[in-house]
Structures are given as C-alpha cells and as structure tokens.
Amino acid sequence: MSATSADALSTNHLGGTDSPRTRDTRSALSHALRALPALLRTGFAAVLAYRAEILIWMFTTNMPLVMLALWAAVARSGPVAGYTQEGFTAYYLATLLVRLFTGCWVVYELTMEIRQGTLAMRLLRPIHPLLAHAAENAAAIPVRLVVCTPLIAIFVYTSYASITRDPILWLCVPLSLIGAWMITFGVMAIVGTLALFVESAMGLFQLWLGLSGVLSGYLVPLDLFPERVRAIALLLPFRFTLSFPVELVLGRVDRMQALQLLGAQWSYVVLFAVGTVLLWRAGMRRFGAFGG
C-alpha cells in the first residue's frame, strides 16, 4: 500500500465535501481526542495482561542501585563533593523512580512493526499510529505508579530530609516528568521512524542509550563531573529526560532556575515533536508494506 492511500484511508471517513487540508487536520485531531479514552483503556488492559513482564522489567532497572552500592562505599569514609551516604541514597532512589515513571518502549514496537510490515494494519486504522502508540505507552503509567509505591515509601523514609519543601518546585515536578516522558517518547519515535530509512535503527538507539547513561545523570550525578563536561551535559537534551526532575525533587535548583529549566525542557519537547512529525511524513512516502 502506498503512503498517500494510507493517508487518504485515515482521513476519508470524515467525508467533508469541502476538504481543505487544515480542516481535515483539525477534525482528525478532535477525532483523535475523542478516541483517546478508548485507546487509554485498551492500553491499560494490555498492560494488565502483561503485568508479570512489566513487574520484572521494573526489577531489572537496577543500574541506579548498582551505582549506589559503589558510591555508598566511597562515601563511607566521608562526603564526596557534598554528597554524604544519605545524599547518594536520595539521589539514586529519585533517579530510579524518575526512570521508572518516564519509561516507554515505542522504539521496539515501531521497529518491529516496520520490519514485519504490520505497520500497514496500524495505518488502516482511523488514527495516527504514533498517537495510538503514545496512548498505549501512557496507559502504563498508573500501573507503574502503583508498583512503585513501596519504592516511593522507601525513598520518603530514607531521604525525608533531602526532599524539597518548596511548593513551587513541587508544582514543577509533574510538568518536568511529563516533559521528560515526552522527550524520551520523541527520541524513541524518531529512531523508530528511522527504521523506514535504514536497517540498523536499533543500533542508533543503543548509541543514544549509552550517551544518555553518562550525560543524563543516570550513572553519576552531573555535579560530580569535571566542570567542562558538566557544562556540556547541562545543555544537552539528556539532562532533561532524567536529572532535571531529580534536581527539582531534591531542591537542587531555586525557583527562578526551575522555571527557566522547565522552559528549556519544553523547548526540547516541541523540537523533538516537530522532528518526529516531519520525519514520519517523509517516511510514509517511502513505506510500502510487504505484499502491497
């Protein structure tokens, strides 16, 4: 099937006699919004069906704890650059929680669908495949929150003194988490869409993961890096996927900085979203399902 016919299929049911593109887009969007509750419901049901897998996947996300083991041993003989043992515990538990909340897996599904040609099925549905994926991924978040409750309790219990008391920062936390999730989703969607152009898109994603491990504060708190590395890491998008929400929760930034950083984070969100849409359009022109 060619891309244009797929496009037509996804919009022609709207059936406007006068169909300028803007009107189509707008009604497609409102249509998508109406479909959203149903999509979230099915996504939620799918997550429940795979609850054991999700639980184990969450348990395998343990790198912050591996790093905590090392730094706790280092800080046993005195604080490191302002971090005590408690400081490291607070940092790495918060990192683990943010990582668990903001995880998504669209890159794996998208590359598989493209390789196996099942993307054609998605294109036949009257909703944009990326929106459907976003809804499915977002539907997992409530389940994760529930599963994370014990971890949150441990975090509050062990790190009560390190958690910020500033209500403004707390208002920024949900926004920063949503932003972090959207950047992660955007990157995954971009790499997934690249599978329409190149065969080894997953390798590219591994590259992102590797860089992200170092530059997002996942392995080492960014303030422990040498000044020059730190200055670069603070500007790149990686920080906004992980370190930034952690900095907010631990009150490492003041109110003004928090708002500025939130602005920077959401600029990246917009950038990645636009990039995703443009790349998807270009990719759709190339896509031909097997057997089509």
Residue 270 CA to residue 114 CA, distance in Å, equals: 25
Site string for other proteins, 215-254 (x = CB under 8 A): ----xx---xxx----------------------------
Find the binder of other proteins among 25, 29, 34, 53 (CB under 8 A).
53
CB of 14 to other proteins, least distance (A): 43
Question: What does the DSSP assignment read for the chain?
Answer: --HHHHHHHHHGGG--SS--HHHHHHHHHHHHHHHHHHHHHHHHHHHHHTHHHHHHHHHH--HHHHHHHHHHHHGGGS-BTTB-HHHHHHHHHHHHHHHHHS---HHHHHHHHHHHTTHHHHHHSSS-HHHHHHHHHHTHHHHHHHHHHHHHHHHHHHHGGGS---HHHHHHHHHHHHHHHHHHHHHHHHHHHHTTT-S-HHHHHHHHHHHHHHHTSSSS-GGGS-HHHHHHHHHSTHHHHTHHHHHHHTT-S-HHHHHHHHHHHHHHHHHHHHHHHHHHHHHHHH---TT-
Task: Provide, rounded to whole angstroms, the least separation between the CB of residue 63 and other proteins.
Answer: 7
Q: Which stretch binds other proteins (CB under 8 A): 10-18, 20-28, 58-66, 85-93?
A: 58-66
Binding pattern to other proteins, positions 145-184, x when CB under 8 A?
A: ----------------------------------------
Is 80 among the residues that bind other proteins (CB under 8 A)?
A: yes
Tell me if 213 contacts other proteins by CB under 8 A: yes
48/70 with CB nearer other proteins: 70
- Site residues for other proteins, window 60-79 (CB under 8 A)? 60-63, 66-67, 69-74, 76-77
Return the residue of 45, 49, 207, 274 that touches other proteins, per CB under 8 A.
207
* Distance in Å, CB of 160 to other proteins, minimum: 22
Q: Which of 16, 37, 203, 292 binds other proteins (CB under 8 A)?
A: 203
Which residues lie near other proteins (CB under 8 A)?
A: 52-53, 56-57, 59-63, 66-67, 69-74, 76-77, 80-81, 200, 203, 206-207, 210, 213-214, 219-220, 224-226
